[in-house]
Amino acid sequence: MAKKLDSRWNIEELSDPDIYDAIRYLEPDPTCRNEQKDDTAFVICVTVVILLLGCVGFVWLWWK
């Protein structure tokens, strides 16, 4: 049988600033999210442009 784990975290001894620091540590950086959205939008735009150029090139070769 599995042993019962003994929790020794001493949650009662944590103060409010300690808890707030832990929450801030675990939350992702909000500025990082905006940079990721900008990077994703840039990659999507570049991909669409490349696909459109490929389609135009294919049509150009087909008519030639």
Q: Sketch the domain layout of the chain as residue ranges.
A: 28-64
Name the more confident of 39 and 54: 54
Choose the most confident range, by mean pLDDT, from 9-13, 24-28, 43-47, 59-63. 43-47
pTM of the model: 0.45
User: What CA–CA distance (Å, rounded) separates 25 from 49?
Assistant: 39
- The HSE-up count of residue 35 (CA atoms within 13 Å, CB side) is 5
Please compute the mean of the pLDDT values over residues 20-43 and round it to a whole number. Answer: 74
- What pLDDT, on a 0 to 100 scale, did the predictor assign at position 27? 75
Q: Is the pLDDT of residue 42 over 60?
A: yes
- What pLDDT, on a 0 to 100 scale, did the predictor assign at position 1? 47
Please compute the mean of the pLDDT values over residues 38-42 and round it to a whole number. Answer: 83
